[in-house]
Structure 1
Amino acid sequence: MLTSLQAGVLDVTYQVQGPENGPPVLLLHGFPYDIHAYAEVTDELVAAGCRVYVPFLRGYGATRYLSADTPRSGQQAALAHDVLALLDALGLERATLAGYDWGGRAAGIVAALWPERVAGLVLGDGYPIQDIATAATQPGSPEAELRYWYQYYFHGERGRAGLAEHRRDFCRLLWSLWSPSWHFSDATYALTAAAFDNPDFVDTVIHSYRHRYGLAPDDPAYAETERRLAAQPPISVPTTVLAGADDGVTPVQGEAAVARHFRGPFRYEVVPRCGHNIPQEAPAAFAAAVRERLP
């Protein structure tokens, strides 16, 4: 069932399923995806007795900014504060959080800075908090720079115009590049692509990929949170990290490189024959990881 409520600076549209007294789980999608990434995961978690919430993030689907004056920020701190505001609006003191890409970043930040709100955590890829100072000045390997071509494209106004004009074709290309072993159908893609027609999609996405390199300003409302994130805080809540073996944008980093950022119970798993969109490509593995982190 889709419903909406005001939470922070947004009117958030979200799907909710499962018994009202079940352990709450918040599933957070990434770019360029939407709530359909979690359809099968949700079914498995509801069958396990969970109350499952799957929101459209800012700039996606039917979620809307409440005010024309709110900056269309896609910065990491904004995404995390959206999660906190949604938990508050839903009346949830704690929940199990799970996400990947943008959604994993939001979940990981909440877990790092407000661990009392997080019963357990599931992340795609690895430690999700951006090191903006390093990204702004230190180049990666040539292979890494090639994988991030789309981010550099977004740094110019030609990239903004290209995303605005060709958003569906552009995002479909990313799906194919990032998940080379996933053979999704036209119908599967179309279900998600409709979410990119949100009037604030382009502005929010462009700000995200400029801000992480220090090329766009903070929303002042989140400056203090960004200051705290600059210290790369560790995550102490029980966490499972899943990595897609075939991820075309975030290659497998290895357990040792990821585990150093976590201080609590931790498990790392490489999911075979899986790319970047882990919950949609490997829903059984993702749902099992969430069940593992229920209170």
Structure 2
Amino acid sequence: MSTFASSNPSLTAITEVLEIAFLQEGPESGRTTLLLHGWPDDATTWLGVAPRLSQTGIRTITPWLRGFGPTRFLSPSTFRDGRIEALAQDALDLMDALEIERFSVVGHDWGARIAYALAAIAPARLETITALSLGYSPGGAFPVPPFEQSRAWWYQWFMSVDRGAEAVAKDPTGFARLQWQTWSPLGWFDDASFEAVARSFENPDWLAITLSNYRSRWRNEPRDPRYDELHSKIAATERLDVPTLMIQGAADGTVLTKSTEGKDRFFTNGYRRVVLDGIGHFPTREAPDIVADAVLQHLESNLH
């Protein structure tokens, strides 16, 4: 039975640090694809994509990331680490809890970073990855980009300044809404759609995870040492061996198309980049059928 019609999913999995809420679609006997959302978004970003995959016999697992929606930390004492290595471990822990060994990953924004990280730390478990709206950065590094891209990332610099972080804490939903308004062509969403997603930002740890993720990119921030080994493994990996599809919106207002060019040399087992005209930063919401078609073609072409 599909859980996609429910705004309060009943499916959860317990891991070492989290109770992860997730949606599931398709037969449990089918090939599995893990669908990972980005920021500021939630698992419902896949509502237009997952059913298309499940209709072909693919099982989809679609979690809320740590700090989002109904996913919760088990202990108040666990450090709220929002770095990609922590999120990648969450993904592996979820699949372990569900006893799924091999799977594909389709990730948007933060989810794309997680997909690249998983390809670095657990390539044997992955059939394919699809990364939406974010190019690969070897070693998971965060070099300061050219000025034009740096300007588009103003929100990251803003959060990295203490007074900016304080301002975000006062109106986190307003801050998130501004990104929706400026990262894709005007008029791409309605108020009801944003407000439904923004309920996921009411998670008590959303702000902490958001600030940890972005501030740790550009400054020395507190971290959970349990993820240090993963961090080192990602940092030591330049080329990825997992077949990869990258989908980019040509009208993306935060990840500029120029920043995702010329990545082919970092992939040793197949890489393809697709640019969607007139689409911004949220292709899963703006063009779900096109995304589903591209993902299905990628999965089909890498059947073994």
Shorter-chain TM range is over 0.9
Query: 1:87 is matched with which residue: 88, 95, 101?
Result: 95
- Quick one: distance in 2 between partners of 1:255 and 1:144? 11
For residue 247 of structure 1, report the CA deviation from its aligned partner.
0.5
For residue 151 of structure 1, report the CA deviation from its aligned partner.
0.8
For residue 7 of structure 1, report the CA deviation from its aligned partner.
2.1
Query: 1:43 is matched with which residue: 33, 46, 51?
Result: 51
Opposite residue 272 of structure 1, the aligned amino acid is D
Opposite residue 128 of structure 2, the aligned amino acid is G
1:156-199 per-residue CA deviation (whole Å, 9 max, x = no partner) reads 33223222221111111101111125520111111111000000
**RMSD between aligned residues:** 1.7
- Quick one: distance in 2 between partners of 1:181 and 1:269? 22
Query: 1:172 is matched with which residue: 169, 177, 192?
Result: 177
CA contact (8 A) 1:105 1:129 kept: no
1:62-109 per-residue CA deviation (whole Å, 9 max, x = no partner) reads 001111121101111101101110110111001110002111111111
Moved more, 23-32 or 254-263: 254-263
Q: Does 1:122 align with 2:130?
A: yes
| Superposed counterparts of 1:208-247, under 5 Å | 208-247=213-252
CA contact (8 A) 1:130 1:212 kept: no
- Quick one: distance in 1 between partners of 2:53 and 2:203? 28
5+ residue gaps, structure 2, are 4-8
Opposite residue 98 of structure 2, the aligned amino acid is L
Matched with 1:106 is: 114
1:32-73 per-residue CA deviation (whole Å, 9 max, x = no partner) reads 000111101012112122111110001000001111121101
Secondary structure of the residue that 1:188 maps to in structure 2? helix
1:77–1:146 Cα change, 3 Å: same
Identity %: 36
TM-score by length of 1: 0.93
For residue 240 of structure 1, report the CA deviation from its aligned partner.
0.6
Moved more, 198-207 or 15-24: 15-24
Matched with 2:191 is: 186
Q: Does 1:57 align with 2:65?
A: yes
1:239-279 per-residue CA deviation (whole Å, 9 max, x = no partner) reads 11111100111111377512122111221110111111121
Matched with 1:29 is: 37
Secondary structure of the residue that 1:260 maps to in structure 2? helix
For residue 126 of structure 1, report the CA deviation from its aligned partner.
1.7
- Quick one: distance in 2 between partners of 1:37 and 1:283? 9
- Quick one: distance in 2 between partners of 1:283 and 1:43? 10
5+ residue gaps, structure 1, are none
- Quick one: distance in 1 between partners of 2:59 and 2:139? 30
For residue 141 of structure 1, report the CA deviation from its aligned partner.
2.6
TM-score by length of 2: 0.90
- Quick one: distance in 1 between partners of 2:216 and 2:188? 32
- Quick one: distance in 2 between partners of 1:219 and 1:128? 22
1:182–1:22 Cα change, 3 Å: farther
CA contact (8 A) 1:246 1:274 kept: yes
Secondary structure of the residue that 1:154 maps to in structure 2? helix
